[in-house]
Structure 1
Amino acid sequence: MNHVVTLQDAITAFADFIEPTADELDAIEREMPVILADVDLLDAHIVTLDRTPTEVDERRIRRARRRALAARVALINRAASASMPGGAA
């Protein structure tokens, strides 16, 4: 007869490591504008999945794409300025 053994002890042994650390939460907070811009871009694309995009839809997608790109550039610029000695970028 085979006995079923649970992995509860193995899983709960690392329970402290399951939660995100403060550094990980800070990184998520820094990336939140990029995440939200990407969600807006996905929303713009989802609207057009079941129909032919109108001119308004195409403008919405272009605006969302530009916002997503601008958010990524801002994140990269903040990271670059933070890593430069003396704050010079």
Structure 2
Amino acid sequence: MEDKKVIRSNQHGFTKSKSCLTNLIAFYNETATCMNEGKVVDIVYLDFIKAFNTVSHNILLGKLRKCGLDEWAVRCMETWLNRWGL
């Protein structure tokens, strides 16, 4: 996914050497820098889990395959969707 530029460099979840913690640190640093420079900072939290309830899983998995994601990764995503009852 990284080679095909589907995942951006600022993606943290499910990315090698990055995690929710590294995402939180990067977010905090960027927010603190902006505030220290006197910039206004607005933060919006989104619950993406609900988005999976409105998307056809078969279409989503098909698009991942078309992007070149290998079958093992697609099946992992499918298992995740099924595990959480999405």
Higher relative helix content = 1
Q: TM-score, normalised on structure 1?
A: 0.28
In our comparison, the structure showing a higher alpha carbon Rg is: 1
